[in-house]
Chain A
Amino acid sequence: DAGVTQSPTHLIKTRGQHVTLRCSPISGHKSVSWYQQVLGQGPQFIFQYYEKEERGRGNFPDRFSARQFPNYSSELNVNALLLGDSALYLCASSPEGQGPYNEQFFGPGTRLTVL
């Protein structure tokens, strides 16, 4: 079975631009979560979606938004990019939707660089 896939692998943007990151969960997984990992830090939670509904939101500004599609894939959008948005963006899926009490399956990440 294919694992969690993310696209693109790398991305370079300039300040003020908009970016869309994509994630396809493992087949059968209905929950998708997004995390931001700044160099040298652990991942920080951004959003969780389950059955196309937002179930959780981390402490990120409104410039960050996401959605989940009927096929359970997901997009993370970031507007008005800042230098500080440069990070590895990780997507994780799991079969359950009532919280990440169980194993999360992570994708390889999208490395975003903002110049």
Chain B
Amino acid sequence: NAGVMQNPRHLVRRRGQEARLRCSPMKGHSHVYWYRQLPEEGLKFMVYLQKENIIDESGMPKERFSAEFPKEGPSILRIQQVVRGDSAAYFCASSRTVESAKNIQYFGAGTRLSVL
């Protein structure tokens, strides 16, 4: 049973380019979460999605960032016109349910974005 799969593992972009980060949840999981981790800091929530729906995007910057989780295929976190401050590790997590006792979020290996 494969875990949460993220790709690419490392992504280098120049300022102004677009970054696309992909996340395939664990089998049987329909809830996906994106978090950002700056160096030497904890993870900060960005967005929570279920299939085809954004449930909570309260942690997403208002501009340049978007996320989707289509009916078919992986969840995508898209960053347009990247700036140096976007350099961070972006982690995706998935869970099977949101019921209290069973809602463990399993994390992928992360995508480390470097903006030159």
| Same assembly | no
A-binding residues in B (CB < 8 A): none
Chain A residues in the interface with B (C-beta under 8 A):
none
